């Protein structure tokens, strides 16, 4: 029998104005999946797709194919502020891009390994790390002129994410809940236990104390350098494909299916942004007030929130939602005049039902009367949204 799991720790507080993003599609010039998109400033950005490397110099309005990947299978890119970029992937391949007298130059670098390289991170134009299959970690201190293997790893324990706060303090995450921490630049690594026990894809710290790990169905956070962790989102339905930290309170995350999330209170509340239905497996970046998303079939959309991402969001606490005996129970504990209706939506924004005011003080809803399939749904009450998962 289906059961309904109401995740009370996830409260999407929103107003229609806050979540109104006017998405417009931008041509990428390709029809294949886009794996990674990153900007090094408000104008210049990169895209890595199946067969091409694309570049923009006008904030993503137009994209130019600057390299055809006929002999390379790449999976990751890193950019530093001066526009230099590194791409890495299958068979230990690394490509380094730089601009020489206004000419684009690509140079293949020797990684010293034939393992699949999955994620890179550069602190500056000299210092960088790359992780990959079997938990390998390689490091450069001279912009990739030389790469040194600093961790051989373990068979099958692939690493998918890496980040350094400074030259000494860094994190790496991967398969089977693997979480590693270093305080000596990567010479030694300490295994850290977290509630994230499946496939960890992203690790993002704002400073030494505050950071998130995300991946297959979860987001967890630490505020004490990894000594303890709190689960902020947990679901068996979605994968966190990309994650971006602005500071210890503000972060963005994308699901693989039509979802973009934002928090401005350290992840206590996540605000849900609807995105176009025809794009999946998201990668994204935020430049100024613009949000750019890219993903399946070469699709790119650009939007601008109607309010600043710094805006404070306030929660409505006039009711309590519980799940008991196959019913959603909404118990109002304050004046209900400010709540005009109660609605339920699926992930694509399709309305399942709508109840208009006036209501009784206690409302009981049986979701199985609506023949709902397994998946994520949203219960909208006034200006608040509760996320509900049918499993």
CATH of domain 21-304: 2.130.10.10
Would you call 369 helix, strand, or coil by DSSP? Answer: helix
* 8-state DSSP, 43: S
Residues 6+ apart with CB under 8 A from 160: 118, 119, 131, 173, 174, 175, 199, 200, 201, 202, 215
Is residue 2's pLDDT more than 50?
Answer: no
- Mean of the pLDDT values across residues 312-323? 49
pLDDT averaged over every residue in the chain = 83
Query: Which segment of 11-20, 80-89, 233-242, 263-272 scores lowest on mean pLDDT?
Result: 11-20
Reported confidence tier of residue 310, pLDDT bands at 50, 70, 90: very low
Contact 330, 324 (CB under 8 A): no
Is residue 221's pLDDT more than 70?
Answer: yes
Integer-rounded Cα Rg, in Å, for the chain is 22
Is residue 325's pLDDT more than 80?
Answer: no
Task: Quote the pLDDT of residue 292.
Answer: 95
- Mean of the pLDDT values across residues 110-115? 97
Q: Is 29 exposed, middle or buried (0-12, 13-18, 19+ CB in 10 A)?
A: middle
Task: Quote the pLDDT of residue 314.
Answer: 31
User: Cα–Cα distance between 155 and 152 in angstroms, integer?
Assistant: 9
Max Cα-Cα span within the chain? 72
Reported confidence tier of residue 76, pLDDT bands at 50, 70, 90: very high
Task: Quote the pLDDT of residue 342.
Answer: 81
DSSP 101-155: TTEEEEEEE--S--SPEEEEEESSSS-EEEEEGGG-EEEESSTTSS-EEEE---T
Q: Is 309 exposed, middle or buried (0-12, 13-18, 19+ CB in 10 A)?
A: middle
**Would 21-304 and 319-390 be classified into the same CATH topology?**
no
Note the pTM of the prediction, 2 decimals: 0.74
Q: Which residue has the higher pLDDT, 26 or 376?
A: 26
- Mean of the pLDDT values across residues 244-260? 87
Task: Quote the pLDDT of residue 121.
Answer: 96
* 8-state DSSP, 80: -
Domain borders along the chain are 21-304, 319-390
- Mean of the pLDDT values across residues 190-203? 93
Is residue 14's pLDDT more than 50?
Answer: no
pLDDT tens digits for range 151-160: 999 999 999 9
CATH of domain 319-390: 2.60.40
Is residue 308's pLDDT more than 50?
Answer: no
């Amino acid at each position: 029998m289906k059961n309904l799991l109401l995740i009370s720790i996830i409260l999407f507080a929103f107003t229609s104005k806050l979540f109104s993003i006017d998405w417009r599609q931008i041509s990428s010039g390709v029809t294949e999946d886009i794996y990674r998109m990153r900007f090094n400033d408000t104008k210049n950005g990169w895209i890595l797709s199946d067969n091409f490397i694309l570049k923009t110099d006008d904030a993503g309005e137009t994209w130019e194919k600057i390299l055809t990947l006929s002999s390379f299978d790449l999976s990751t890119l890193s950019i530093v502020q001066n526009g230099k970029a590194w791409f890495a992937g299958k068979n230990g391949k690394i490509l380094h891009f730089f601009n020489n007298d206004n000419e684009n130059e690509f140079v293949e670098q020797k990684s010293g390994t034939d393992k699949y390289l999955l994620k890179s991170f550069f602190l500056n134009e000299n210092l960088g790390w790359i992780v990959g299959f079997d938990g390998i970690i390689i490091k450069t201190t001279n912009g990739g002129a030389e790469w040194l293997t600093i961790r051989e790893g373990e068979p099958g324990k692939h690493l998918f994410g890496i980040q350094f706060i400074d030259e000494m303090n860094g994190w790496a995450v991967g398969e089977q809940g693997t979480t590693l921490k270093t305080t000596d630049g990567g010479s030694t690594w300490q295994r850290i236990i977290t509630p994230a026990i499946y496939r960890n894809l992203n690790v993002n710290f704002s400073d030494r104390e505050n950071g998130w790990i995300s991946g297959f169905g979860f987001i967890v956070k630490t505020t004490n350098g990894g000594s303890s962790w709190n689960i902020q989102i947990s679901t068996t339905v979605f994968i966190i494909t990309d994650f971006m930290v602005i500071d210890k309170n503000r972060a963005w995350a994308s699901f693989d299916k039509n979802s973009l999330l934002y928090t401005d209170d350290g992840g206590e509340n996540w605000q849900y942004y609807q995105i176009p239905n025809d794009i999946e497996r998201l990668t994204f970046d935020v430049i100024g007030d613009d949000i750019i998303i890219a993903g399946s079939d070469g699709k790119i959309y650009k939007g601008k929130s109607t309010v600043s991402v710094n805006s404070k969001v306030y929660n409505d606490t006039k009711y309590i939602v519980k799940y008991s005996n196959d019913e959603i129970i909404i118990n109002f504990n304050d004046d209900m005049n400010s709540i005009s209706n109660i609605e339920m939506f699926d992930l694509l924004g399709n309305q399942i039902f709508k109840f208009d005011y006036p209501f009784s003080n206690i409302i009981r809803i049986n979701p199985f009367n609506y023949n709902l399939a397994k998946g994520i749904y949203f219960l909208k009450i006034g200006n608040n949204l509760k996320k509900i998962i049918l499993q």
